[in-house]
Amino acid sequence: MVVVIQNDPLVPPGLISAYLDALGLEWRCCRADRNENIPEADAVIILGGTMGVDDEREFPYLRQVKTHIDRWLEQELPMLGICLGGQLLAQAGGGEVRSASHGEHGVVLVEQTESGRADPLFCGLPERMPVFQWHNDSFLVPPKGKHLSTSPSCPAQAFRLGNAWGLQFHPEVDYAIVKRWGDLLPGAEPYIQQFLSCSDEITDLTQQLLGNFLAMVSAR
């Protein structure tokens, strides 16, 4: 079973849920933000959130998520962390997460590194591809991680740590999610239009990336 961990009511699975449903896979969205117990899984996808990795006082459920991430890393369970999820993975792997650093919004071109071009997560994806960004904080690649992709304004866009992958960008977003986020940020209309201009391409890239991740899960 694939478990998708939702950390914030504003950050649902979006395209991930549609893709998993289309494949007919057994999966569950676990609402960590509602203190739901996190079940055993064959693979985990950790979504983003408006909070920071160290905001445990305001969001105490982050402690449970962090505890599970530590255990899953030891077990070498396949994980895919998105934005906050990627930052939590980076922190668990000994990497630094910087607040209000290298923030990005809207559609940004990310480029694969040499390691990224060789990594199965990006198999079949272009070396430079448009992705949707919505973050203020950013991670540094963990000491034992492999740096997979970069952008001019945020050097660390993706990394691999064993069987775990951390992404700074948001492959899961659909128009409803982007519109909701944009409505909460003054002056965000250009970001919404950027997404609309390449939403079909982003959807195709998301399906390829998720397909690659799930293929590695099946190979285990």
d(CA 115, CA 52): 28
Q: Has 172 been annotated as catalytic?
A: yes
Q: Has 170 been annotated as catalytic?
A: yes
Catalytic residue among 30, 68, 83, 147: 83
Q: How many CB atoms lie within 10 A of CB 5?
A: 28
Q: Has 74 been annotated as catalytic?
A: no
Catalytic residue among 30, 68, 102, 172: 172
Q: Could you tell me which of 108, 88, 202, 197 has the C-alpha nearest to residue 149?
A: 108
Catalytic residue among 68, 102, 147, 170: 170
| Residue 65 contacts residue 91 (beta carbons within 8 Å) | no
Exposed, middle or buried, 34 (CB in 10 Å: 0-12/13-18/19+)? exposed
Which of left, alpha, beta for 106 (phi over 0: left; psi -120 to 50: alpha)?
left
Two tokens, residue 37:
């117990």
Q: Which residues are catalytic?
A: 83, 170, 172
